[in-house]
Amino acid sequence: MKRADARITKTKASAVHAVKEIVAARGLVGLSHSEVAKVSGISRATLYRHWPELKDLVSLCLEDFQLSVDFPHGSDLVWDIATGAHTLADQLTGDFSKVLRHVWGIDQDGSYKTDHLFKAAVRKLQACYLYHRPAVEIAEHEWSLSMSMLAGPIFLRWLLRIEPLADQDYIALAQKVISLLDQVALPVQE
């Protein structure tokens, strides 16, 4: 069973890499199953079996992005959140940014495609904070507000294509987010 899992993981990684490469070079217009097969070395039959439509391949890239943004669970909350924010910025300015710029729009459920990415990042911020402060509860809207405060400057710099934040800016953002969360945190009721 492990061999099959490794093969699937390798196939997904190859497909994601190929889609990013193609979209970066030629935009969505250049994306086809044939091109992905040529760039990735995956057979067209396998591509069609796992991802019958091109939107499925693009969704695979969005899923890969969600998995790659992570907030560590180390010994320092400020450092962990600053590192997570830096990871988010690195992903937005890397190969993924070219895919995201082309798929900006409405998903089948009526939400913006970026909403799914934002919600995934919020869950990771929440897990990181609660790892360090397990005995508190925070309302859902406060998590979203905190992530907006953290991701806003990163996202705007990405959209406007201006220079990324400096390391000390990530630390300052993390401190502001933690301060906000600490203010709204309530002790867990037993």
Give domain limits for the chain.
Answer: 2-58, 69-187
CATH number of 2-58: 1.10.10.60
Confidence of residue 1 (pLDDT cuts 50, 70, 90): very low
Confidence of residue 47 (pLDDT cuts 50, 70, 90): very high
Nearest to 62 by CA among 128, 126, 112: 112
How much is the pLDDT for 154? Answer: 79
Calpha distance 44→133 (Å, rounded): 48
Q: What is the DSSP code (8-state) at residue 134?
A: T
Residue 75, CA distances (Å) to 72, 135, 142 in order: 9, 17, 23
What does the pLDDT look like over 107-139, one tens digit per residue?
Answer: 555 555 666 677 778 888 899 999 999 999 999
State the chain's mean pLDDT as an integer: 82
CATH number of 69-187: 1.10.357
Does position 178 have pLDDT exceeding 80, yes or no?
A: yes
How much is the pLDDT for 99? Answer: 66
Residue written as tokens 């796992």? 50
H/E stretch holding 186: strand 186-187
Give percent of the chain above pLDDT 70. 84
Calpha distance 24→31 (Å, rounded): 10
Confidence of residue 153 (pLDDT cuts 50, 70, 90): confident
Calpha distance 21→40 (Å, rounded): 10
Give the number of other CB atoms < 10 A from CB of residue 111.
12
What does the pLDDT look like over 56-114, one tens digit per residue?
Answer: 888 787 777 777 778 889 999 999 999 988 888 877 766 666 666 655 555 555 555 66
Size (the chain), residues: 190
How much is the pLDDT for 190? Answer: 67
